[in-house]
Amino acid sequence: MTESLTVRDNRTGTEYEVPIVDGTIRAADIGKIKAGEDQPGLAVYDPGFVNTASCRSSITYIDGDKGILEYRGYPIEQLAASSSFLEVAYLLIHGELPTKEQYDTWVHNITYHTFVHENVKDFMQGFRYDAHPMGMLMASVGALSTFYPESRNISDADNRAIQIIRMIAKMPTLGAWSFRHAQGKPYVYPDNDLSYTANFLSMLFKMTEVKYQPDERLVKALDTLLILHADHEQNASTNAVRSVGSTQVDPYSAVSAGVAALFGPLHGGANEAVLRMLKRIGNASEIPAFIEGVKNGNERLMGFGHRVYKSYDPRAKLIKKAAEDVFEVTGTSPLLDIALELEKIALEDEYFVKRKLYPNVDFYSGLIYEALEFPPEFFTVLFAIGRTPGWLAQWLELTQDKDQKIARPKQIYTGERGLTFTPASERWA
Ligand code: ACO
């Protein structure tokens, strides 16, 4: 039996049968409801898309109430424990786990596309000495579209595949160079003998040594963080990638829009904000006053709350564990003690309990990044590198989805109408 909704328009008395498919109704069916033949169809007002599905997707499953996150059906906990970032990237893009041969080819291809054209280095060096690395990443990934003009041919599967490999390969290079730039240090070229994540650390931290050999425990922790950030279905930045990608622009331009969205403090910028907040609190004795301020609406407890998770963010649990591993290598931080105490108090406080506000992925990630000696401005770049396979998997899905159209929402117009324009020369006379 087809499920449906019977809607009675009390303006006209007409009844409509609206089919329910996959727990949703089609906005286009609502558009058929009209107060009169010459009247506009009924529309749905949903700022921030809080209850609107924009696509059908088989990439990431989230159950926000139960705290479940799965990539292509595999629980995040298992992937974080036993997979690698590049394997997860393959899974997200291709939809299934690779065979040994497929994995080796994938890793080989990504490893050998880590270099960028020397012109990229030149223009990156043109940024102001203190340019925010996210601004540099956003611009440089977008600029790759000028190096690969064929990337505009998005209807060709082979062409899409090579651009995906290039982007996953080059993001750490662009990210690391934006980091070195702000420090006034020479850019380090990729080392293709190293793993994806070890090479990234090499490009970030190598100085005069002939070969940079990062601590394997730190490589593992960073690789886990990248896995945890790899996709999160229709979040703000993925929506930006899909929305811009729906114009059929090249994937570099679409991903650059994703980087822009991630830059915002309510999205990827939150971990930077968490760290600044912890530093400002400074001491566990200041926590009660800080919490009072949050409850009075003066500010938000950064790293808490999520549009989808109404229980503990599963990634936050795994990140808390990764933080312990990192602190074993680097030594603990007084900010961790403040974070733990803040979490404990907030989880017991009625304000947070009632609103189902729990730690999200950003609550502990900033602490790990600081222990790894990344400046706060760089945290979001790490997030962007992790999210790149997710953005690309979503973009790829979009390009093959027959239901998709150019993203073009409606509005409720609230302005003036039909005014008569008086030229400036008369108005100012
Ligand atoms: N601190 C204090 N109160 C909060 C917080 C918070 N962090 N988050 C939500 N609330 C309160 C709101 O004030 C609101 O209260 P009210 O009902 O009395 O008005 C209620 O909880 C619901 O909040 P909304 O803003 O409606 O929830 P929304 O789903 O729109 O926002 C968001 C989600 C943006 C993540 C929000 O929780 C927030 O701003 N958190 C802090 C920033 C943060 O950590 N962002 C990272 C998100 S994860 C990511 O992007 C990777």
- pLDDT tens per residue across span 396-406: 999 999 999 99
Ligand 1, atom 22, lies closest to the CA of 355
User: Cα-flanking dihedrals φ and ψ of residue 35, to 5°?
Assistant: -75, -20
Q: Is the CB of 26 under 6 A from ligand 1?
A: no
Q: Quote the pTM value.
A: 0.91
The residues assigned a catalytic role are 267, 306, 362
Site of tokens 């933080």: 323
Q: Is the CB of 360 under 6 A from ligand 1?
A: yes
pLDDT at 223: 96
Is residue 227 over pLDDT 90? yes
CA distance 120 to 321: 37
Amino acid at 349: D
pLDDT at 320: 86
183-211 pLDDT, tens digit per residue, is: 999 999 999 999 999 999 999 999 999 99
Return the best residue to mutate from 226, 291, 307 for the ligand 1 pocket (most ligand atoms within 8 A of CB): 307
Closest CA relative to residue 182, chosen from 383, 380, 385, 377:
377
In this prediction, residue 215 has a pLDDT band, given cuts at 50, 70 and 90, of very high
Site of tokens 């650390």: 201
20-40 pLDDT, tens digit per residue, is: 999 999 999 999 999 999 999
Q: Is 70:57 a contact under the CB 8 Å cutoff?
A: no
Is residue 1 over pLDDT 90? no
CA distances to 88, 179, 214, 321, 370 from 221, in Å: 15, 19, 12, 9, 13
Between the CA of 316 and the centroid of ligand 1 the distance, in Å, is: 16
In this prediction, residue 323 has a pLDDT band, given cuts at 50, 70 and 90, of confident
Q: Is the CB of 262 under 6 A from ligand 1?
A: no
Between the CA of 381 and the centroid of ligand 1 the distance, in Å, is: 22
For the CA of 235, the closest atom of ligand 1 is 50
pLDDT at 308: 87
Q: Is the CB of 266 under 6 A from ligand 1?
A: yes
Between the CA of 306 and the centroid of ligand 1 the distance, in Å, is: 6
Between the CA of 358 and the centroid of ligand 1 the distance, in Å, is: 10
How much of the chain exceeds pLDDT 90, in percent? 86
Q: Is 79:88 a contact under the CB 8 Å cutoff?
A: yes
For the CA of 360, the closest atom of ligand 1 is 48
Q: Is the CB of 310 under 6 A from ligand 1?
A: no
Report the 10 Å Cβ neighbour count for 44: 12
- Average pLDDT of every residue of the chain: 95
Q: What letter does residue 149 receive in the DSSP assignment?
A: G
Ligand 1, atom 17, lies closest to the CA of 355
68 DSSP β-pair partners: 63
CA distance 314 to 312: 6
Is residue 60 over pLDDT 90? yes
In this prediction, residue 407 has a pLDDT band, given cuts at 50, 70 and 90, of very high
How much of the chain exceeds pLDDT 70, in percent? 100
Average pLDDT over residues 364-375: 88
Average pLDDT over residues 236-242: 98
Between the CA of 343 and the centroid of ligand 1 the distance, in Å, is: 15
265 DSSP β-pair partners: none
Ligand 1, atom 27, lies closest to the CA of 307
Is residue 115 over pLDDT 90? yes
